[in-house]
Amino acid sequence: MHEKAYRSVVKSISWRVLGTLDTMIISYIITGNLIMAASIGSIEVVTKMFLYYIHERSWNKISLGKVKVENDYQI
């Protein structure tokens, strides 16, 4: 089944929210500074969302592990 580009955008956003929270928690544990943790999280959320989108769209073009389905309905 073909995925539309907006699905990758929504997946990117939801993954980055989770990932950024993780980064901020780890940053806070390491630094003990909430401002520093928020700064690190705010920078990485943008860069990693962009990288994930590119990664996701690239993998959609690769046939590795995909199978062609003759009928796209369930019996």
Q: What is the pLDDT of residues 29-70, one digit of tens each?
A: 999 999 999 999 999 888 887 888 898 889 889 888 888 877
pLDDT of the residue at 72: 64
Task: Inform me whether the pLDDT recorded for 12 exceeds 80.
Answer: no
pTM of the predicted model as reported, rounded to 2 decimal places: 0.60
User: How does residue 1 score in pLDDT terms, banded at 50, 70 and 90?
Assistant: low
pLDDT of the residue at 74: 63
Residue ranges per structural domain of the chain: 5-58
CA 10, 15, 21, 27 torsion: positive or negative? negative
